[in-house]
Chain A
Amino acid sequence: MRPFKILPLLFTLWFTRGNAQQNFTLYNMGSVPQRSWMNPALLPECKWHLGIPALNSLYVHASTSGFNFSNIWKATEIGIGDTSVLNFNKLLNVLDKKNYISVKVEQTWLHGGLRWKNHYFNANITEKGAVKISLPKDLFRFVIDGNGGQNLGSTFHFDLGAQAIHYREFGFGYAYTYRDQITVGARLKYLRGLNVVDLNKANLSVQTRSGDYAWLLSSDVELNTASSAFRILNTDTTRPNDFNGRRLYSGVRNGGLGLDLGATYKVTDKLSVNASILDIGFIRWTQNTGSWVSHDPRATFVFDGIHISSKDTNSDFGQYIENLADSMIHTFRLDTLHRKFSTGLSTEFFIGANYKLMKKLELSALLYGDFFNKRFYPGLTLGMRYTPWRALSVNVTNTMYSNGWFNPGLGIAVKGGPVQFYTVADNFLAPVMLSRLRSMNVRFGINLVFGHPSGTAPAKTEPAETDPVTF
């Protein structure tokens, strides 16, 4: 089968799960230069490369940690005959304490790199956008199980989290190989924040007293917003809120810095190990900022019923409810601030090992970890990379991640002349395995790759012997 015959398949949506960058399969796609974004010490299998502007890497990701069909089956019971009954209460058992929904889009405008002797330089300009929403299990428990019965006296924590962020990354990477055995690399990233809505904190809680069913409410909220183009939260009526789209492309405010570090070590000719840590950094938002912050983060409100007193002179129930609402709003009132604030990047790390089993076949193991909403999410990927021809590279992986042990990944890179097309997905069976459908992602792009690091053209039917392959 010629490589171009499988091109239509490569346009299929690939699905995977998770909430971070999720490039388990790309990490070991040696022929794809973009893998250096996972580890700055991973070198491309070419002398220089240039991504087709705006088409060299498009990444789309959507995921949820909560329901999938498989979980729904766990909440069903045997019904009459061949039917089944869906038990809503059992659905709670499959929810995590915190459940997230995540959508990401990344578009790389420019990307290029050059290997010269032991040095590798590369740069990229990438537009990144992400929306993350974290929903607590208690929210669903409150709605489905209710606050009565066995839940009397227990506290429901509605710790909501949400962030929508849009920024531009200007990355400059450098790697150095020492004695063809150790490679260290770093990428410094200047970040230009464009828009953000960050529900940094929404710690709401409700407790129902068992004695009298009174509700004890508390709230601690912090919402930060900023934009280069306009003021998202504008309570200042004296300042017009004009949209200025040009600021999305110019200016230096809302700046930030990010750093990726990586290293590889060639233990033997067949075995190598590598590690990286990515996205250490932050964005400092200074332009058109607006925040809502709880006036009293420790404020509590007790609703113990509609108060009826002999001293009451107002018998208007509607007015009473209005006053009650006003009292609650006053207790939990939010201050509007226009202040600078920072948002951190989602730091993640990789630790891997590669073993070259045969000339065309390489095995890999990759340990992954990321933090989101104060939780650590580890993952382990086992992979096999097959390179039947220099023009084709196939990487098959399986990732154990977020309580799922079967997440097969597939990456394919084909090359015709200097034109390389690649596509990668970490859970490519998800579209047809609906029961496991929790998320989707796909990355694809077109690069122009030239030359060989050694300076000599390798045989067309096999990978270059001098290629570090796994790095």
Chain B
Amino acid sequence: MKPIGYISLCAALALSGCIKDTLDKARKIKKVKWTGTYAAPLIIADLDLADAVDLVKDAASLGIQSDQTVYLEYANAHVSVRATDWVKLQNQNGSQTEQLSPSEQTALLTSGAVQVMRNFSHSWSNGGMELDSFLCSAGSMQCNFNTNLQHDGSITLVFNSLIKNGAPLTLTGNFTYTGGLSSLNFNRDLTGYVFDLSRSAPGYNQFEASVRLDLTKSGSVVLPSDQFQINVSLNGMQYRRVHGYFGQTLLLNPADSAKLSVFTSALSKGKVQFEDPRVKLAFTNSMGLPYRFTANSIHFSIPGVSFQNLNAPPAPFPGKAAAFSALPSVVKDSIVYNNGNSNVKALIANEPHYFAYDVSALANPLGKTSNRNFLWDESVLELKASLELPFYGISSTLVLEDTSDFSLNGGKEVSYIDWIRFRFHTENGMPLSLGFQAYFMDSFNHVLDSVFTPYRYILPGATVDAGGNVTAPAIEQFDAIINRPRIAHINEARKLRLRIMVPTSQYNGSPGPVRITRNQKIKLKAGVEIKLSANAPI
């Protein structure tokens, strides 16, 4: 072998050693090691009391007092009666038959023509109600004229009770005798007509028309049995506005109750003291009639435990009638039972579970007077009964607590977590502190670990003055770190007990009522940082 051959062989052996060395080093790698720390923002919340009480307010809603204090309101659906459900226009049918007087017969025979004048009247029947007038928004009239007179002629009907644009409804027609009965039919839409039913005594329910019959002798005889008949039918009538007297009627008689979830949450323990609770009965009336409200019963109860009446219920309350104007108007009244005129504060201090009432409203309590009633088709009498709990009070030991089954099921992946750090920035403008704790327990309810060790408030309450008004928000930044041993405990936990504490701020270390207003906010910013590490075989 020549030198270059030896060189090539040696080089090949040396180089093959390089490959083997590389592969051997690669085969020796049995584990991989890695550490990484990752951070991310979680939430940035800008909350007010509406969000804070979402958990407990259930069917309640929030309101704002004139002094900006927020209140919690428990109320059932409004109870109401509508005018169109109460006063309805009934269909009417009127008929009148007339004969020629002897002088009219003579005039027809001698001069060959005669003018006959009559009045048509119909007494309106509407369930005992007295209708003075109404503006018709829908309805129709069918009018029939027939006669056995053997002569030609014309008829003019002027309905003075039906006015539109200042003119009465007038129907005219000609008829020609051809043997048998002569007949004319009229149909009219009554929309927009004003029914004036007060033109004659007794001043209501009188529907009238004047009838003029012009006859021309045809050569036939005039018989004593000759007559003519007018039939009027009014159907499907609705009103836009109606005047009259609609009777002494029980309009409303509701009995209902509301669950006070703020006191019934199974999670809550401890006491919340409301300084100025009130029961409010609010009326909204757009009917033009007086009414009388009577509170038959208002009480609070804890089923099976207690039943307590609101004391000193007021005398029957006279409700105002809406004033008449070109358009419907509304008048509002209310009755308030507060700490000044009732025992409501003491009753609320017992944290009742239900608030119940039984009330009634009677129309025209004084009966028929000189002041007549009126209704618009949209008129309504409405009652809203509510319990208002202004957030002005003290919460010293209020705790929300719940225990549930829990399983992280983290498996092997959890072992990669070294620690988790939650970073909080809080700015609490409310005079309420918020404490939170989560206890991780085994199946025997033994506490293995907790999130905050030592315990601390997530949101310390704002600073307040002696009157309970916020003077400065509480600003905090803190971290909550869950390290590897605690993560292991959490992974072993089978039950989780959550505990939330919401005490009110204190003034100079002493508890006192604080006020929560609409402008108070909670700003919460949270982020998470997690360190992962692996030292795993490959």
Nearest CB to that of A310 among chain B residues?
Answer: B48
Chain B CB within 10 Å, residue with most, of A76, A149, A307, A432:
A432
Q: Which of A151, A214, A433 contacts B41 (CB 8 A)?
A: A214
Give min CB distance, A314 to chain B, whole Å.
15
Contacts of B42 in A (CB 8 A): 305-306
Once the chains bind, are A146 and B37 in contact (CB under 8 Å)? yes
Of B208-216, B247-255, B487-495, B521-529, the segment with at least 4 beta carbons within 8 Å of chain A is B521-529
Asked if A213 CB lies within 8 Å of chain B CBs, one says: yes
Asked if A77 CB lies within 8 Å of chain B CBs, one says: yes
Contacts of B454 in A (CB 8 A): none
Alpha-carbon gap, A326 to B44, bound state (A): 19
Alpha-carbon gap, A85 to B529, bound state (A): 27
Once the chains bind, are B34 and A76 in contact (CB under 8 Å)? no
Alpha-carbon gap, A149 to B419, bound state (A): 11
Asked if A335 CB lies within 8 Å of chain B CBs, one says: no
| Known contacts A147-B39, A208-B39; 18 further A-B pairs (Cβ under 8 A) | A1-B2, A1-B4, A69-B22, A76-B25, A83-B30, A85-B30, A88-B33, A89-B33, A89-B36, A145-B37, A147-B38, A148-B531, A211-B423, A215-B41, A304-B41, A306-B42, A310-B47, A434-B22
Give min CB distance, B271 to chain A, whole Å.
27
Nearest CB to that of A91 among chain B residues?
Answer: B34
Asked if B530 CB lies within 8 Å of chain A CBs, one says: yes
Once the chains bind, are A214 and B16 in contact (CB under 8 Å)? no
Closest 7 CB pairs of A and B: A213-B527, A149-B37, A148-B37, A432-B15, A148-B39, A305-B41, A146-B36
Asked if A84 CB lies within 8 Å of chain B CBs, one says: yes
Contacts of A148 in B (CB 8 A): 36-39, 529-531
Asked if A152 CB lies within 8 Å of chain B CBs, one says: yes
Asked if A308 CB lies within 8 Å of chain B CBs, one says: yes
Q: Which of B21, B30, B45 contacts A79 (CB 8 A)?
A: B30
B13-58, CB < 8 A from A:
15-16, 18-19, 21-23, 25-26, 28-48, 50-51
A145-174, CB < 8 A from B:
145-152
Asked if A402 CB lies within 8 Å of chain B CBs, one says: no
Asked if A4 CB lies within 8 Å of chain B CBs, one says: no
Contacts of A9 in B (CB 8 A): 8
Asked if A357 CB lies within 8 Å of chain B CBs, one says: no
Once the chains bind, are A310 and B32 in contact (CB under 8 Å)? no
Asked if A372 CB lies within 8 Å of chain B CBs, one says: no
Alpha-carbon gap, A76 to B502, bound state (A): 54
Once the chains bind, are B525 and A304 in contact (CB under 8 Å)? yes
Q: B residues near A, CB below 8 A?
A: 2, 4-5, 8, 15-16, 18-19, 21-23, 25-26, 28-48, 50-51, 423, 425, 477, 525-532, 535, 538
Asked if A144 CB lies within 8 Å of chain B CBs, one says: yes
Nearest CB to that of B528 among chain A residues?
Answer: A213
Once the chains bind, are A86 and B29 in contact (CB under 8 Å)? yes
Give min CB distance, A216 to chain B, whole Å.
11
Give min CB distance, A4 to chain B, whole Å.
14
Contact residues of B: prevailing secondary structure: strand
Once the chains bind, are A89 and B41 in contact (CB under 8 Å)? no
Chain A CB within 10 Å, residue with most, of B23, B25, B425:
B25
Can you identify 5 A-B contacts, CB atoms within 8 angstroms?
Answer: A87-B34, A89-B35, A146-B532, A212-B425, A435-B21
Asked if A82 CB lies within 8 Å of chain B CBs, one says: yes
Contacts of B47 in A (CB 8 A): 308-310
Interface string of A50-82 (1 = CB under 8 A from B): 000000000000000000010001001101001
Give min CB distance, B449 to chain A, whole Å.
23
Asked if A116 CB lies within 8 Å of chain B CBs, one says: no
Asked if A429 CB lies within 8 Å of chain B CBs, one says: yes
Alpha-carbon gap, A84 to B32, bound state (A): 9
Once the chains bind, are B15 and A213 in contact (CB under 8 Å)? no
Alpha-carbon gap, A212 to B425, bound state (A): 8
Q: Which of A86, A215, A309, A434 contacts B33 (CB 8 A)?
A: A86
Asked if A178 CB lies within 8 Å of chain B CBs, one says: no
Once the chains bind, are A212 and B423 in contact (CB under 8 Å)? yes
Alpha-carbon gap, A434 to B532, bound state (A): 32
Nearest CB to that of B15 among chain A residues?
Answer: A432
Once the chains bind, are B36 and A152 in contact (CB under 8 Å)? no
Q: Which of B15, B23, B25, B30 contacts A73 (CB 8 A)?
A: B25
Give min CB distance, A365 to chain B, whole Å.
25
Once the chains bind, are B37 and A304 in contact (CB under 8 Å)? no
Give min CB distance, A72 to chain B, whole Å.
8
Q: Which of B5, B18, B423, B528 contacts A433 (CB 8 A)?
A: B18
Contacts of B34 in A (CB 8 A): 87-89, 144
- Contact of A85 with B32 at beta-carbon distance under 8 Å, contacts A215-B40, A304-B525 already known: yes
Contacts of B51 in A (CB 8 A): 308, 310
